[in-house]
Amino acid sequence: MTARQAWVRPLAAALATSFMIAAQAQTQPARAPSPPAPTAAASKKICDQAFNPPPKNGEKQNIQDLTAHPLAGTVVEIFVTARDGLGQEGKSQKVSCRLPERTFRNPVTIKLAEFRRTLARAYEGSPQAAHASAKAVAVSMGRLAQDKADQFPSAMMINNLKGIQKNLAASQDVAVVDASVNDLWQLMLQIEEETLTKAEKDLREAEKKLREALEKKTDPAELKKLMEDAVKAMQEALKEKAAQTQDAQAKRDLEEMMKKLEEMKKALEQMDKSDPDMAKKMQEMMQQMQQMMQQMSQQQQQQSPQSQQSQQSQQSQQSQQSQQMQQQRQSLQQKMQQMMQQMQQQQQMQKMQKDLQDMIRKQQELMDKTADEAEKRKQDMAAVRDKLEELVKKTDGQVDERTAEERTREEEINQDIAKREEALREKLEPRTDLTDEQKQEIIDKAKEEWEKESQPTQKRQKRLDEMKSDLGDMTKKIDQQRQDNKSMPEQDVGEMIDKLRQMQQELQDQEPQQGQQQEGQKQDGQQQDQQQRRQQQQQQRDLMEQIKKMLEQKKKSGQSQNLDQQQQQLQQQLEQLMQQMRQKGMKPGKLQDASGEMGEASQQLGKGSPGEAVPDQNQALEALREGAQQMQQQMMMQPNPQDGDQGDDPNAMRRQKSEEEVKDPLGRPKPQEDPLASPNGESRIRALRDEIRKLLEDPKLSPERRRYLENLERRGGTAPAQPR
């Protein structure tokens, strides 16, 4: 197709960037044999990517609107030529694409579109032919204003067309033709806008807002609100069209689409936000719906009695149009179904993210509670430690007193034995019937019997020494806990209490023996000592009771919060979430570590050691946060439901991938060695830089070209391919 350069150059500039990406995989070296033409499916795929680039990670996309171009709707051949810093040139395959166009319903606007296309191509030939073509268009405009006056929304628009026709008839200069082309477009938009119903206007407005939001990279939450408005607008438009149509099948299809839209509405209400990819697909679906409704309106107008076609021809055309319309409705229903699947998938993903965020919040709250409980227990155990220390000191003092008494008693027994020995020796001395050896043997046997009386005292003395050692160990442990600023474990406290209670019982059991041994001694001092001992024992019993109550109260306080059970429940919820992730082909990653840390924290809490659980909970919290980031990254890479069926041959796709692996971005076979890494590579780089600097000295160099060369110079003479 050829056309005047004034119209072709802007069009080529608009397409260059899009087709550089879309046709990159199809590029071939200029010196290579001409590659085979792409299949229709491959051409369509490239054109779709160029005219409707998909969003990339929510980034703004530059979408060229070509519907206002006078050549819109025509088939063109497009290719891209690129040259790198080494002077190597590559050329893409030619791709045949139909330029996107706006569908008009009013017969007047359809005719005006033909006028614009004719005027845009008027100056392809000789000036005489161009003038004749422009005059013919002016005559046709006058005839259209007269014959189709009833199809103009207002008389003002008829006058506008007559004004354009008058200017064109008066002069066929190029500037006048270009102005006429632009004026006709504005008139077409006005006519079409006035032809729309309120529901159709609302649909177009909703689609426009959604398209603009995508271009401006609107917040996902606001994007969701616009999608809800779009669904409402589509519902109203379909409801209106279903009431107008007389086709029973079309009515059923439209009603089915309204049901799907109602499901989409409910799904959107349950979602927190929407992603740009989903919004982009809904915007495309709205465009397709507008085209469908416009074609349905055109079909209704063609079925009016004003048609000049024969009945047989008209019926044939209507049948063909009905089939096309049904296919379009089915395509739209399929897109709605795919959209529903995507919404359901995103809803599930958002629920998983929400559940994980809720777990992070609960884990933070649980860690705060655990830290508070640890601090409270630390304070409580400090009080218990003080009481325990007091009890140990009192018991230690009592042991010291009893040890001193036992030592005194042992000395008294030893003195008594010595007196008895002396008395026995004096008694045996006068006896002549006994030898000295016999006398000594009698004395030794008596002494042995007397010394048995001191064995209980010695046994008590040994036990008191053991108590003294145990009390010393307790004192050291208490002092160490105070120096380390740590609370004593309840298990250690319990063991100390048991030992102290046993000591108290043993000391108390010795009292009757002491009393029996001292029977008959009525000294007031001894009675006071016994009374003082009983008071000390009662004080010690009171201390042990206080410690017992403090431990029980602390235990009840910990059990009332059920911190270990709360931690176990969080771990179970996390395990369920990880199972859902695995079912969707996602890896738990750091969440697995978080579950392990939660288990460790739960065990510490079960032992009654909240202070030991806090570090594990903190590690679990950090792992949860990292796991949330990993989950979001994996969700961004999850395929959409409609991406599963590409309609391509898998073997062909593998062959294409294999071929691409041995080619560079321009489609040329990859060299075995880097040309710049050769022995002459450095000189080649210097030569390229010198050439670039000479080009930069040109004062007439365009800003775009200057930026490109400056970037090329910074990169050492090599750069990505630039469209020519």
The helix/strand/coil state of 431 is: coil
Identify the band that residue 366 occupies on the pLDDT scale cut at 50, 70 and 90.
Answer: very high
Please indicate, yes or no, whether residues 109 and 207 belong to a single structural domain of this protein: no
In a domain, 309, yes or no: no
DSSP 32: S
pLDDT in tens, 220-278: 888 888 888 888 998 888 888 888 887 788 888 888 888 888 888 888 877 777 778 77
Torsion angles phi and psi, residue 664, rounded to 5: -85, 175
pLDDT of residue 685: 73
Q: Does position 506 have pLDDT exceeding 60, yes or no?
A: yes
Angle at 253 between CA 302 and CA 321, to 5 degrees: 30
Dihedral Cα 308, 314, 320, 322, nearest 10 deg:
90
- Greater confidence (613 vs 303) lies with 613
Please indicate, yes or no, whether residues 185 and 213 belong to a single structural domain of this protein: no
Q: Which residue's entry shows tokens 């003082």? A: 532
pLDDT of residue 138: 86
Please indicate, yes or no, whether residues 459 and 533 belong to a single structural domain of this protein: yes
CA 302/CA 322 separation, integer angstroms: 12
Please indicate, yes or no, whether residues 64 and 167 belong to a single structural domain of this protein: yes
pLDDT of residue 594: 93
Instruction: Report yes or no: 516 and 552 within 8 Å, Cβ to Cβ.
Output: no
CA 681/CA 675 separation, integer angstroms: 6
Give me the helices (H) in 271-310, please: 276-302
Please indicate, yes or no, whether residues 276 and 398 belong to a single structural domain of this protein: no
Residue 354 one-letter amino acid: K
Identify the band that residue 721 occupies on the pLDDT scale cut at 50, 70 and 90.
Answer: very low
Please indicate, yes or no, whether residues 187 and 210 belong to a single structural domain of this protein: no
In a domain, 336, yes or no: no
Average pLDDT over residues 591-616: 89
pLDDT in tens, 184-233: 999 888 888 887 888 888 888 888 888 888 888 888 888 888 888 888 99
Question: How many beta carbons lie within 10 A of that of residue 315, not counting itself?
Answer: 11
Best CA proximity match to 688, nearest among 657, 715, 723, 652: 715
Instruction: Report yes or no: 613 and 605 within 8 Å, Cβ to Cβ.
Output: yes
Give one DSSP letter per residue of 356-379, joined into a string: HHHHHHHHHHHHHHHHHHHHHHHH
Q: Which residue, of 301, 335, 369, is where some domain finishes?
A: 301
The neighbouring-strand residues paired with 56 are: 59
Instruction: Report yes or no: 663 and 669 within 8 Å, Cβ to Cβ.
Output: yes
Please indicate, yes or no, whether residues 188 and 272 belong to a single structural domain of this protein: no
Residues found in the chain? 724
In a domain, 345, yes or no: no
Average pLDDT over residues 296-305: 59
The neighbouring-strand residues paired with 78 are: 95
Query: Rounded to two decimals, what is the model's pTM?
Result: 0.48
Provide the number of structural domains found in the chain.
Answer: 4
119: Cβ contacts below 8 Å, ≥ 6 apart: 70, 133, 134, 137, 177, 180, 181, 184
Dihedral Cα 298, 302, 304, 306, nearest 10 deg:
120
CA 593/CA 165 separation, integer angstroms: 77
Instruction: Report yes or no: 278 and 230 within 8 Å, Cβ to Cβ.
Output: no
Angle at 216 between CA 266 and CA 227, to 5 degrees: 10
The helix/strand/coil state of 245 is: coil
In a domain, 343, yes or no: no
- Greater confidence (12 vs 592) lies with 592
The Cα-based distances of 50 to 20, 105, 213, 688 in angstroms read 9, 26, 20, 33
- Annotate 357-389 with b (16+ C-beta within 10 A) or e (fewer): eebbebbeebbeebbebbeebeebbbebbebbb
Of 256-260, 309-313, 512-516, the poorest mean pLDDT is in: 512-516
pLDDT of residue 647: 40
Average pLDDT over residues 20-44: 53
In a domain, 662, yes or no: no
Identify the band that residue 477 occupies on the pLDDT scale cut at 50, 70 and 90.
Answer: confident
In a domain, 274, yes or no: yes
Angle at 234 between CA 231 and CA 236, to 5 degrees: 110
Please indicate, yes or no, whether residues 155 and 276 belong to a single structural domain of this protein: no
CA 376/CA 91 separation, integer angstroms: 76
Q: Which residue, of 255, 271, 301, is where some domain finishes?
A: 301
Which tokens hold the place of 250? Answer: 């079309």
Domain holding 251, by residue range, is 197-301
Identify the band that residue 558 occupies on the pLDDT scale cut at 50, 70 and 90.
Answer: low
Instruction: Report yes or no: 196 and 204 within 8 Å, Cβ to Cβ.
Output: yes
Q: Does position 720 have pLDDT exceeding 70, yes or no?
A: no
Of 43-47, 162-166, 649-653, the poorest mean pLDDT is in: 649-653
The interaxial angle of helices 311-428 and 248-270, nearest 10 deg, is 30
Q: Which residue, of 194, 211, 234, is where some domain finishes?
A: 194
pLDDT of residue 624: 93
Identify the band that residue 571 occupies on the pLDDT scale cut at 50, 70 and 90.
Answer: very high
Q: What is the CA radius of gyration of the chain?
A: 50
The helix/strand/coil state of 215 is: helix
Please indicate, yes or no, whether residues 78 and 57 belong to a single structural domain of this protein: yes
Question: How many beta carbons lie within 10 A of that of residue 12, not counting itself?
Answer: 15
269: Cβ contacts below 8 Å, ≥ 6 apart: 228
Residue 321 one-letter amino acid: Q
Torsion angles phi and psi, residue 360, rounded to 5: -60, -45
In a domain, 21, yes or no: yes
Q: Does position 347 have pLDDT exceeding 50, yes or no?
A: yes
CA 449/CA 439 separation, integer angstroms: 16
pLDDT of residue 668: 47
Please indicate, yes or no, whether residues 177 and 234 belong to a single structural domain of this protein: no
Torsion angles phi and psi, residue 10, rounded to 5: -60, -35
CA 417/CA 455 separation, integer angstroms: 13
Output the average pLDDT for the chain. 76
Q: Does position 142 have pLDDT exceeding 70, yes or no?
A: yes
Torsion angles phi and psi, residue 316, rounded to 5: -65, -45
Please indicate, yes or no, whether residues 182 and 222 belong to a single structural domain of this protein: no
Angle at 539 between CA 536 and CA 544, to 5 degrees: 125
- Greater confidence (288 vs 531) lies with 288
Q: Does position 304 have pLDDT exceeding 60, yes or no?
A: no
Please indicate, yes or no, whether residues 155 and 179 belong to a single structural domain of this protein: yes
DSSP 124: G
Signed CA dihedral, 171, 175, 178, 184: sign only: negative
Q: Does position 576 have pLDDT exceeding 80, yes or no?
A: yes
In a domain, 155, yes or no: yes
- Greater confidence (73 vs 653) lies with 73
